[in-house]
Chains A and B, each alone.
Chain A
Amino acid sequence: QKEVEQDPGPLSVPEGAIVSLNCTYSNSAFQYFMWYRQYSRKGPELLMYTYSSGNKEDGRFTAQVDKSSKYISLFIRDSQPSDSATYLCAMSADSAGGTSYGKLTFGQGTILTVHP
């Protein structure tokens, strides 16, 4: 069983729709939760970062973490064609014992297409 499960999609929505992307995980040691966006032939780009449980909002993007359910979400409001990309969830454990926050465990990524 994978440590992080993410539905690969693909997901296709009309412009202006609200998009919901989700990941579940099994490792209770994960404390840092991230969402990356990756355009074709590019590297992952950090969108949102959350420590422990809670919500975080940045413009059209909202990240939610529910540690009790081991479930994280990313919501995109008023989606635009420029949001078409692969969205990757990633997470890491605390840095106790010298393990870096940067040692990320990724989901498989969800391919999102927003059509005009």
Chain B
Amino acid sequence: EAGVTQFPSHSVIEKGQTVTLRCDPISGHDNLYWYRRVMGKEIKFLLHFVKESKQDESGMPNNRFLAERTGGTYSTLKVQPAELEDSGVYFCASSQDFYSPLHFGNGTRLTVT
């Protein structure tokens, strides 16, 4: 079984540019989560999809962040325009249902200069 795949693994962009991160969950996993870890801080929840619907987006920092999940399969997280404080590691995780353990991808390391 393929794990959660994230692309790219590393992205370096300038302040003001746009970046799109992609996550492919484990096949058949309806629940998809985005988390973020900024330097020196703990991993924090951003949002949760159930299939193509946003179940909980209470952790999204502001309206520069837009997450989508087309057809309930892969998900994208767009940051536009990027700011310096957006630098960090963005993790995606998926689970089969509400009570199943989360499987995390290896993350996308975003550096905004």
Contacts and interface: CB of A to CB of B under 8 A. Distances in A.
B101 interface: yes
Interface stretch (B11-19, B39-47, B62-70, B76-84): B39-47
Dominant secondary structure at the A interface: loop
- What interface size band does chain B fall in? 20 to 34
A45 B102 CA distance: 9
Interface string B5-27: 00000000000000000000000
B56 interface: yes
B104 A43 contact: yes
A24 to B, nearest CB: 14
A45 B105 CA distance: 9
20 contacts: A2-B42, A4-B42, A42-B106, A42-B107, A43-B105, A44-B43, A44-B91, A49-B101, A90-B43, A98-B55, A99-B56, A101-B99, A102-B102, A103-B56, A104-B35, A104-B43, A105-B45, A106-B42, A106-B44, A107-B42
